[in-house]
Structure 1
Amino acid sequence: MELDTQINELETDLKEVLVMLETSARKRVQSLLKQEQQKIEKELTQKRQLREQLSKRDSGDSSDPTVKGYTVKINNYGWDQSEKFVKIYITLKGVHKIPAENVEVTFTGKSFIFFVKNLDGKNHEMTVNNLLCPIDVQESSRKVKTDMVIVMCRKTAAKKWDCLTQVEKKSKEKDKSNFDENADPSEGLMSMLKKIYTEGDDDMKRTISKAWTESQEKRAKGDEMDI
């Protein structure tokens, strides 16, 4: 649905640019509008292609004989960067042994979909949306190495990325805003323990509960001694 909304917005923008182009009499303005028209049309084409690919995969399109079995979502990856590229490292055992055309990456201005067909009877997919900064779609690519694929996202500006996605950036900003230098350290510790307890498994919860009980007992004994 989010992709459909983006396509609708781009279509509306394109219509408005075309209207302005028809009514404009200034060559310089026309030139700028044409550049914007080409930019929107390019992005619109990419989004439509992406929607079509996703639609085929979701509907289980079997027109491609290499797409077999079920699809495994990839959640683990590493990344680093150079002046020109952001590199995402995805480990997949045996990926170098399958046909190169079975390893696909579809790029848009701020996202990419990584898809591997029929690796050990399964497909593998990873979608990364809302990259921290725009990327150059035409200059982005992928490299297949032994048991690994590197997704190469070409930066449009040679600046350092603090994180990979906008979501990670917002999370860091939220954590930073929640940190108060003047706050009671014990309150911060309690908040952290509550978070770990809430998100932890049963063993973690038992460990924290035991530590809390022992801490309270020690505190009670200390209070009795003071009296």
Structure 2
Amino acid sequence: MASALEELQKDLEEVKELMGKTTRKRVRDSLTAEKAKIETEIKNKTQQSQKKPEGDNGKPAALVAPMTTGYTVKICNYGWDQSDKFVKIYVTLTGVHQVPPENVQVHFTERSFDLLVKNLNGKNHSMIVNNLLKPISVEGSSKKVKTDTVLIMCRKKAENTRWEYLTQVEKDCKEKEKPSYDAETDPSEGLMNVLKKIYEDGDDDMKRTINKAWVESREKQAKGDTEF
């Protein structure tokens, strides 16, 4: 019969496998939290199994409560740039260089990565980035811990290509914000579309104002046509 520690190891492997397959941010956040929880349990059980059953005087040694970490906070602030070979993400975390190296973990897939920093100032810190703009090499990607900073190095699969954005979502959002220009379209058509939207979204006063302006504009135009 498998021990509790062996069962936890199996649970951890299965969670890691699921993290590599999922593309849904909410699911991945839940799996990341569960992964941190299981790893903490494994660490605690390992420490307990290594403790001596008795003290130097032959009496049972006092049990030491395992150190537990607090809740997991989401990392929202970061910077990034790129070279011909790498996309580099800079995550600032005060004191991160002072935690044990094994507490800083980065998991890569071809189109995502997640960072987990465990037990930093009593908290876990998590950052998950899905839907990267272009594929990366899992084997060629890595992380470096510097003073108050974690540097995540995503190796580009296609070298010498420029990334305009870090993720596909950012690209889609920016492109939606861009006004569309068509050389063959009447310039006044764009203005009419804007006025139409304002009219549809406006209240009664706004609609009356637009109707009045429209009637006056048509009257002036008709008057001008009769003068020639």
Residue 120 of structure 2 aligns with which residue?
119
Alpha-carbon deviation of 1:180? 4.5
Does the aligned pair in 2 maintain the 1:47–1:108 contact within 8 Å? no
Unmatched segments (≥5 aa) in structure 2: 1-15, 23-27, 45-66, 202-228
The 3 A distance-change label for structure 1 pair 56 and 132 is: closer
Does the aligned pair in 1 maintain the 2:89–2:152 contact within 8 Å? yes
Does the aligned pair in 2 maintain the 1:67–1:117 contact within 8 Å? no
Percent identity between the two aligned chains: 51
Q: Deviations over 1:77-127 (max 9, x none)?
A: 000000000000000000011111110000001000100000000000000
Query: Secondary structure in 1 aligned to 2:43?
Result: coil
Does the aligned pair in 2 maintain the 1:67–1:123 contact within 8 Å? no
- Return the structure number with greater helix share: 1
Unmatched segments (≥5 aa) in structure 1: 1-45, 195-227
Letter in 2 for 1:57: A
Residue 99 of structure 1 aligns with which residue?
100
The 3 A distance-change label for structure 1 pair 144 and 131 is: same
Alpha-carbon deviation of 1:169? 1.0
- State which of 156, 163, 175 in structure 2 corresponds to 1:173: 175
2:40 maps to 1:64: no
Alpha-carbon deviation of 1:69? 1.0
Q: After TM superposition, where is structure 1 displaced by more than 3 Å over at least 4 residues in a row?
A: 46-56, 64-67, 178-185
Alignment length (residue pairs):
149
The 3 A distance-change label for structure 1 pair 58 and 130 is: same
Normalization by structure 1: what TM-score?
0.56
Residue 210 of structure 1 aligns with which residue?
none
Normalization by structure 2: what TM-score?
0.56
How many Å separate the matches in 1 of 2:162 and 2:113? Answer: 19
Alpha-carbon deviation of 1:174? 1.1
How many Å separate the matches in 2 of 1:171 and 1:56? Answer: 26
2:88 maps to 1:109: no
Output the aligned Cα RMSD: 3.3
Alpha-carbon deviation of 1:179? 4.1
Alpha-carbon deviation of 1:51? 6.5
Query: Secondary structure in 2 aligned to 1:131?
Result: coil
Residue 30 of structure 1 aligns with which residue?
none
